[in-house]
Amino acid sequence: MSFDAESIRAQFPALALHVRDKPLVYLDNAATSQKPRAVLDAITLYYERENSNVHRGVHHLSQVATLGYENARDKVRDFIGATAREEIIWTRGTTEAINLVAQGYLRPTAQPGDEVLITEMEHHSNIVPWQILRDQCGIVLKVAPIDDTGTVDMDAFRALISEKTRLVSVVHVSNSLGTINPVREMIAAAKERGVPVLLDGAQAVPHMPVDVVELDCDFYAFSGHKVFGPTGIGVLWGRREILEPMGPWQGGGDMIKHVTFEKTIYNDLPYRFEAGTPHIEGAIGLGAAIDWLGTIDREAALAHEHDLERHASEELAKLPGLRLIGTAANKAAVVSFVLAHAHAHDVGQILDGDGVAVRVGHHCTQPVMQHFGVPATARASFAYYNTHEDVEALVRAVKHVSEMFA
């Protein structure tokens, strides 16, 4: 299969939009990706011809909906290289998945002084759940520092793993810096001390193949809406031997086998962790996104994204007063920057006037902003459907801002 950005672009209806009377240049993919026609059609088909609740229904629509919903679970299993469908747990996204691990896995046995190790570049979703657990159980949150390129200090990371470390939880790819962490090295360091590892894969899965068995992690979480699927659906993968003894985090329908007023017998994996009516169309839409990804050459697409990132970084760095934030040697297609004398929100608003959509703010990584001494950045993030023309439009628009605030 060959890679052709223009043919991929044509499959995304939103990319034909005009904003402020100008063609949309969508560079906010780290926040959420656009959706191909195949995903939109799958969701429409579900609502038009298959709409029903799943499981236990004996009528035709329920059986069809259940089949589509559970087939999507199998697609996720194969997509991330898991060995069993029972290890695939539907969540609302990466955030809920991390909270599930915090409350379902760690909290029941956590003791005061137990440690969780993260890094300085984590998303708030991989900070706050552990702070909540700290307040509940007295655990200690340890933070491995990063340097001024946005690269984790691996010597410090290793030194922070101790006999008290109960879990290492790190981001695979930083959403605000683009740094691709050396996760195999991190996992190996943790495993030497017998410490399980959770990876936040929200920014990795959209860009690169992920095989959880090959990585040798213990939990992996990602969100559907960043990988060309719908919002409100995500995945937690966990090793079966770890998930099996875990009790449920939430209670309600579908996570039970039998209920009396005296006792409840919980359901088997994975349903034990999926209380209530699920996001059926979300799962089906994510399955369609995975099918769509199977139609493209992802290795060539990843190389294309790297070319876009290099192009954007090189051209933006030439602009007076512009500072790139996040210059690690191993990066995904994310370019964050600040302009002298212009707040990031002003940059974003002016770029929007030129039809260029970027994300501005702290990107739910306020400790990263504190490290670099900035309140916020402007972030351009690329996907398979972006082109070098998009990069050139971005650079022209940022140059316009630079000249306005010179």
| Catalytic positions, written as ranges | 364
Task: Please tell me whether residue 219 adopts helix, strand or coil conformation.
Answer: strand
Radius of gyration for the alpha carbons in the chain, expressed in angstroms and rounded: 22
Burial of 262 (0-12, 13-18, 19+ CB in 10 A): exposed
Half-sphere exposure of 52 (CA within 13 A, CB side): 17
Distance CA 146, CA 102 (A): 24
Cα angle 73-78-81, degrees, rounded to a multiple of 5 = 120
Cα distances (Å, whole numbers) of residue 134 to 98, 119, 159: 15, 16, 21
Angle between helices 344-353 and 388-404 (to 10 degrees): 120
Contacts of residue 127, defined as CB under 8 A and 6 or more positions apart, other chains included, come to: 118, 141, 367
Half-sphere exposure of 258 (CA within 13 A, CB side): 4
Tell me, rounded to whole angstroms, the distance of Cα 244 from its chain centroid: 25
The span from the first CA to the last CA of the chain, in angstroms, equals 47
Q: What is the DSSP track for 19-70?
A: ETTEE-EE-BTTT-----HHHHHHHHHIIIII----SS--SHHHHHHHHHHH
Half-sphere exposure of 92 (CA within 13 A, CB side): 9
Cα distances (Å, whole numbers) of residue 55 to 108, 148, 205, 277, 358: 29, 51, 29, 10, 41
Contacts of residue 349, defined as CB under 8 A and 6 or more positions apart, other chains included, come to: none
